[in-house]
Amino acid sequence: MPDGANSKTAASHLGLLQGIARIRDLAEDEVACAARAKEISDWGVQLHLEHLFLAESGILRFLEGVVYSAAPETAEGGPSTRGYIVLQSGFIPRGKGNAPKRTIPSGLSIEEIRDGFRDIEARYQSLEQHLGTLDAHKGTLAHPLLGHFNAAQWLRFAHVHHVHHQKIIDDILSRG
């Protein structure tokens, strides 16, 4: 475990990296990326991949700001009750929330998504040596539906969110 890192933060980081590697490999399979199952999701696999890329890129920008440029701290509070439950349970119920506008897929090509995941994977890997910094940082950034998360909570949320969409993708692919 990296120096100064909380075991939960280290586990979230490792789980997220494993999930990103799996998605990166999936993005190489154009047949899988084209899969759809309307009974499971209005989005096909490629749109879920794009949503994950957009969401994880945004979270990563905040985390890198904490590590590399001392992102400003806020005093807006913490997670909402729903946000706390998501972070503690590690579960996001399906169909209970809408994606924030900035994370709604807009039609990136599979090549752009694939290259994007390669980039964010490398950037998340580079955060490993700074997990203690993420744990210590008390500044928050608001989630549009779940309240304010500090850096360690955002990393946890990224992992939980990734698992949520991976399960949906797996269900879509199992229908094919």
The model's pLDDT over 14-64, given as tens digits with 9 standing for 90+, comes to 999 999 999 999 999 999 999 999 999 999 999 999 999 999 999 999 999
Ordered structural domains, the chain, with CATH: 7-175 (1.20.120)
Q: What is the pLDDT of residue 75?
A: 62
Tokens coding 52: 């994950």
**CA 13 to chain CA centroid, nearest Å:** 10
pTM for the whole structure: 0.94
Do 26 and 93 meet the contact criterion of CB atoms below 8 Å apart? no
DSSP 155-176: HHHHHHHHHHHHHHHHHHHHH-
Q: What is the pLDDT of residue 101?
A: 92
Percent of the chain with pLDDT over 70: 94
Residue 117 pLDDT grade (very low, low, confident, very high; cuts 50, 70, 90) = very high
Residues sharing a CB contact under 8 Å with residue 89, sequence separation 6 or more, in sequence order: none
Do 127 and 68 meet the contact criterion of CB atoms below 8 Å apart? no
Residue 2 pLDDT grade (very low, low, confident, very high; cuts 50, 70, 90) = low
What is the average pLDDT across 117-132? 96
**pLDDT higher than 90, residue 81:** yes
**pLDDT higher than 70, residue 3:** no
Tokens coding 144: 């549009």
**pLDDT higher than 80, residue 163:** yes
Count of helices and strands (H, E) across the chain: 7, 2
Tokens coding 163: 């698992």
What is the average pLDDT across 67-96? 87
- Report d(CA 18, CA 113) in Å as an integer: 17
